[in-house]
Amino acid sequence: MQQLLTTALGGLTLGAVYAAFALALCLIWRSTRIVNFAQAPMAMITTYIALVIIDAGHSYWTGFAAALIGGLLLGAVVERVVVRPVEGKAEINAVILTLGLFILIHAVAGIVFGSRYRSFPAPFGVRGLTVGDTSIALTGFGVFTVVAVVVVMGLLVLLFRYTEVGLRMRAAAFNQEVARILGVKVGRMLTLGWALAALVGSLSGLLIAGGSLVHPAYMDSVVVYGFVAAVLGGLDSPVGSVIGGMLLGLSLSAVSGYLGSELVPLAALVILMAVLLLRPGGLFSHHAERRV
Amino acid sequence: MFEVRDLTTSYGPVRALDGVSFTAREGRVTAVLGANGAGKTTLLRTASGLVRPQRGQVLLEGRDITRTPAEDMARLGLAHVPEGRGVITELTVEENLRLGGLHRPARTRAADVERICRLFPVLGERHDATAHVLSGGERQMLVIGRALMAAPKVLLLDEPSLGLAPRIVAQIFGLLRSLVASDGLTVVLVEQNARSALSIADVGVVLNLGKVVVQDDAAALAADEKLRHAYLGF
Ligand SMILES: Nc1ncnc2c1ncn2[C@@H]1O[C@H](COP(=O)(O)OP(=O)(O)O)[C@@H](O)[C@H]1O
Ligand SMILES: [Mg+2]
For ligand 1, say whether the CB of B193 is within 6 Å of any of its atoms: no
Q: Tell whether B101 is covered by a domain.
A: no
Q: Are A253 and A10 in contact (CB under 8 A)?
A: yes
For residue B198, being part of any structural domain is answered with: yes
Residue B211 within a domain: yes
Percent of chain A with pLDDT over 70: 95
Contact B140, A221 (CB under 8 A): no
The average pLDDT across B44-72 equals 96
pLDDT reported for residue B194? 94
- According to DSSP, the β-strands at B29-33 and B203-208 are parallel
Contacts of A167 in chain B (CB under 8 A): 91, 95, 98-99
Q: Whose CA is nearest to atom 14 of ligand 1?
A: B39
Question: For residue B153, what are the contacts with CB-CB under 8 A and spacing of at least 6?
Answer: B26, B60, B61, B77, B78, B185, B186
Contact B88, B131 (CB under 8 A): yes
Fold of the domain spanning A2-116+135-278: ABC transporter involved in vitamin B12 uptake, BtuC (1.10.3470)
More confident residue, B211 or A32: B211
pLDDT single digits (tens) A172-192: 999 999 999 999 999 999 999
How far from B60 is each of A65, B56, B155, CA to CA, in Å?
A: 49, 14, 11
Nearest to A181 among B50, B95, B98 (CB): B50
Packed helices A91-113 and A39-55: angle between N→C axes, nearest 10 degrees: 30
Residue percentage of chain B with pLDDT more than 70: 100
- Check residue A292 and give its pLDDT: 37
Query: Is the pLDDT assigned to residue B125 strictly greater than 90?
Result: yes
- The reply to whether B105 falls in a domain is no
Best to test chain B binding among A170, A181, A185 (most B CBs inside 10 Å): A181
Look at the alpha carbons of B106, B110, B113, B114 in this order and tell me if their dihedral is positive or negative: negative
- What residue owns the CA closest to ligand 1's atom 1? B11
Please count the structural domains in chain B. 1
pLDDT of residue B233: 84
- Is B115 domain-assigned? no
**What number is the average pLDDT over the span A110-137?**
82
Partners of A168 on chain B (C-beta within 8 Å) are 99, 102
Query: Is residue B232 pLDDT above 70, yes or no?
Result: yes
Q: Buried (b) or exposed (e) across B60-88, using 16+ Cβ within 10 A?
A: beeeebbebebbebbebbbbbbbbebbbb
- Quote the pLDDT of residue A272: 87
Computed over every residue of chain B, the mean pLDDT equals: 94
3 state SS of A217: coil
B25 vs A: CB within 8 A: no
Q: Which residue has the higher pLDDT, A287 or B96?
A: B96
Q: Is B120 helix (H, G, I), strand (E, B) or coil?
A: coil
Q: What is the pLDDT of residues B128-183, one digit of tens each?
A: 999 999 999 999 999 999 999 999 999 999 999 998 999 999 999 999 999 999 88
Q: Is A280 helix (H, G, I), strand (E, B) or coil?
A: coil
Q: Note the pLDDT of residue A7.
A: 86
Residue B177 forms part of a structural domain: yes
Domain extent for B196: 2-84+153-232
- Does the distance separating the beta carbons of B91 and A181 come in below 8 Å? no
- Residue A182, chain B, CB below 8 Å: the answer is yes
Higher pLDDT pick, A280 / A158: A158
Amino acid A288: pLDDT: 42
Percent of chain A with pLDDT over 90: 61
B16 lines ligand 1 (CB under 6 A): yes
CATH number at residue B78: 3.40.50.300
pLDDT for the residue A289: 41
Q: Using 50, 70 and 90 to split pLDDT, how confident is the model at A286?
A: low
Phi/psi region, residue B77 (left: phi>0; alpha: psi -120 to 50; beta: rest), is left
| CB-based contact, B72 to chain A, within 8 Å | yes
Query: What are the boundaries of each domain within chain A?
Result: 2-116+135-278
Question: pLDDT digit string (tens) for A217-266?
Answer: 999 888 889 999 999 988 888 889 999 999 999 999 999 888 988 888 88
Size of interface A-B (CB pairs under 8 A): 61
pLDDT for the residue numbered A278: 86
Give pLDDT tens digits for A37-95: 999 999 999 999 999 999 999 999 999 999 999 999 999 999 999 999 988 788 888 88
